[in-house]
Amino acid sequence: MATETSPLITAAALDVALGAESLWSGAGRRRSAWRVLDVRWKLGGPPGREEFERGHIPGAVYVDLDTELAGHGEPTDGRHPLPSPDAFQEAARRWGLGDGDSVVVYDDASGTSAARAWWLLRHAGVRDVRVLDGGIAAWRDAGMPLEKGPDATPIPGSIHVQFGALPTLDGDAAAALAAAADAVLLDARAAERFRGEVEPVDPRPGHIPGAVSAPTTDNVDADGRMLPADALAERFRGLGIDADTPVGVYCGSGVTAAHEALAMVVAGLPLPALYAGSYSAWSNDPERPVVTGA
């Protein structure tokens, strides 16, 4: 499915959008509101709220990935299972989102955690969601202002969400995709985790049999900005993917897999199906085989 607009936004374009949001169109209707969400997060690290309070984009609302962009379940559900639609709608309303809003998400990790928010919002039916390319560093580097302190509690929104707008996989479907000759299952984790040389959090090192290693670090440049569309398209062609290839993506817990999906959209490719449970769910199921090596 092709996207109508780019899923990325530059710092300069965001500055213009935020400055123009109070303007009125010639027809007399107020432009759709822009909402900015700060999704700073690190695996195993403290929540990003402290970083947020030290400096954030003016008007941004902090979003906690562990508690607001994920649910809770058994180990075989993965570390970051999708939240329930009701829980996600409640969170989105706390952030001040309304139906028809445009949303910008950002982080300080090359877009990897922001992409989780991008994917979930799109999955929930929000049409216009952008990831700030280069994150808060790009905003700072452009000389844009920062606010300090906690976010001002937004007026509660009235958004209605409905999951199902984007394709997903369960474990059985991921296994079938990896085994199919005409399909590709991408593993977005670091290459050494794919090979099983290190495994910091999951019970069994290795990867899903038949998966292809595609670390998300290869999607971005040294500044954490997404590579140009043509470079990404070439990268995915090298992984055996074109516009007609059925593709699934997974990572450790469904976070960086969303970044792989984002990169595919930037490359002009259809959205892949995301295995939300990812390797943390797979490796906790003793009935699921794992393999090591390249």
* Residues with catalytic function: 251
**pLDDT tens-digit readout, 177-224:** 999 999 999 999 999 999 999 999 999 999 999 999 999 999 999 999
In this prediction, residue 152 carries a pLDDT of 76
For tokens 């999955």, what's the residue? 123
Percent of the chain at pLDDT > 90 equals 85
Task: Report which of 57, 65, 61, 72 is spatially closest to residue 41, judged by C-alpha positions.
Answer: 65
| 175 and 274 part of one domain | yes
Taking the C-alpha atoms of residue 56 and residue 60, their distance in angstroms, rounded to an integer, is: 7
Average pLDDT over residues 83-91: 98
Given a cut of 90, is residue 112 above it in pLDDT? yes
Domain that holds residue 215: 168-283
Residues 242 and 183: beta-carbon distance below 8 Å: no
Residues 135 and 111: beta-carbon distance below 8 Å: yes
Give domain status of residue 163, yes or no: no
Residues 203 and 286: beta-carbon distance below 8 Å: no
Boundary residue ending a domain (124, 141, 158) = 141
| 217 and 120 part of one domain | no
Given a cut of 80, is residue 161 above it in pLDDT? yes
| 108 and 214 part of one domain | no
Give domain status of residue 279, yes or no: yes
When pLDDT is cut at 50, 70 and 90, the band that residue 31 belongs to is very low
| Alpha carbon separation from 227 to 107, 162, 216 (Å, rounded) | 17, 31, 11
Given a cut of 60, is residue 25 above it in pLDDT? no
Q: Where are the beta strands (DSSP E) in 54-108?
A: 61-62, 102-106
Coil/strand/helix, residue 272 = coil
Average pLDDT over residues 127-140: 97
In this prediction, residue 19 carries a pLDDT of 81
Boundary residue ending a domain (100, 124, 141) = 141
Taking the C-alpha atoms of residue 136 and residue 74, their distance in angstroms, rounded to an integer, is: 34
Boundary residue ending a domain (122, 141, 160) = 141
User: Total domain count for the chain?
Assistant: 2
Give domain status of residue 149, yes or no: no
Give domain status of residue 148, yes or no: no
Q: Which two tokens stand for residue 109?
A: 């990790």
Average pLDDT over residues 10-19: 91
CATH of the domain at 81: 3.40.250.10
Dihedral, CA of residue 186, residue 165, residue 226 and residue 205, to nearest 10: -30
| 119 and 202 part of one domain | no
pLDDT, averaged across the chain? 92
Q: Which residues contact 280 (CB under 8 A, 6 or more apart)?
A: 75, 78, 79, 80, 201, 202, 252, 253
Taking the C-alpha atoms of residue 104 and residue 70, their distance in angstroms, rounded to an integer, is: 19
Number of helices followed by number of strands (H, E) in the chain: 11, 10
Coil/strand/helix, residue 278 = helix
| 192 and 234 part of one domain | yes
When pLDDT is cut at 50, 70 and 90, the band that residue 37 belongs to is very high
| 123 and 172 part of one domain | no
Taking the C-alpha atoms of residue 166 and residue 120, their distance in angstroms, rounded to an integer, is: 9
| 231 and 106 part of one domain | no
Give domain status of residue 162, yes or no: no
